[in-house]
Each structure stands twice: as structure tokens, then as C-alpha cells.
Amino acid sequence: ATYAVTRQALERARSGGGPTFVEAFTYRMGAHTTSDHPTRYRTSAQEEHWRRRDPIERLRAHLDGTGEPPEVFQAQLASEADAFGEHLRTTVRAMGRPSGPSMFEHAYATPHAVVDAERAWFEQYEQSVVDHEGHQTGGHR
């Protein structure tokens, strides 16, 4: 369904029909971070409920039912996904660490007074940060 909807949206945009709002409702199966333990806020019944609706697992089941050789396809897909993930991680790590205030640069297309005030507060706060020896770090350690 997601593929069909996004394909229609793409065709509409390319033909001059303008943007399309696509609402995609899904569920994060894994932990939010490495320190997160979803068992604190969700039950195994909830996870099973959503596992049955997992689009990746549903596609896998569909492909299994078509008679295609699923093992070969799935192994190739997993290999490509792993390689792509590694490429993304390498690329992101090579980007370097952005400055703290850079997070305010793209919040709005045009300047916004609230964002400007938040940036000023953040920059002042960064200048007040000191390391364990009492030296000003300017927000960097």
C-alpha cells in the first residue's frame, strides 16, 4: 500500500499536480536507542500485535507465497541492506561533528524570532560550560 501511494504521489508531482500529503502509520519494532528497554513501556502482546503487521515480514511472507526462490532473494537483499547501512555509517562518521548552534540553521525557511532567541540562549549557555578542571570549553570537550 505504501509503495502504491508514494508512486501515485510521485506521478502527481512529476505531472505538475503539486505535493501530496502521505500519512504513513507504523511502529518502531526495536529499541529507540541502545540504552532503551521497550519492555518498560510496552507489553509482549503489543509487540506481537505489531510484528504481525510489520511490512518487511509481510512482504517476505508474500514473496514466499509466490513460488520465487525466497532464500536467494532474501540473502541478496540482506547483503545489499548491510552494505548500504555500512556506507551510510561511514559517510555520516566522515561528516565531522557539527557545531551546536548549527541545529538552529534549518528550523525554518526564513528567520524566526523564537528560534533566534533559542539560538542566543544556547550560544550563551555553551560559553558558560566548564570542564572538570574549571576551564571554559565554549561548549566543546
Secondary structure of 9-60 as H, E, C letters: HHHHHHCCCCCCCCCCCCCCCCCCCCCCCHHHCCCHHHHHHHHCCCHHHHHH
**What does the pLDDT read at residue 13?**
96
Q: What is the pTM of this model?
A: 0.43
d(CA 93, CA 60): 32
- The pLDDT value given to residue 95: 93
Domain boundaries in the chain?
Answer: 99-141
Q: What is the pLDDT of residues 66-119, one digit of tens each?
A: 877 778 888 888 999 999 999 999 999 999 888 888 999 988 889 999 999 999
**How much is the pLDDT for 31?**
87
pLDDT band at 129 (very low <50, low <70, confident <90, very high): confident
pLDDT at residue number 60: 81
The DSSP secondary-structure symbol of 110 reads S
Local structure of 136: helix, strand or coil: strand
Cα–Cα distance measured from residue 139 to residue 123, given in angstroms and rounded to the nearest whole number: 8
CA torsion angle 90 100 103 37 (round to 10) = 60
Answer whether residue 134 shows pLDDT above 90. Answer: no
Q: Over 70: is that where the pLDDT of 43 sits?
A: yes
Dist CA 1 CA 3 (whole Å): 5
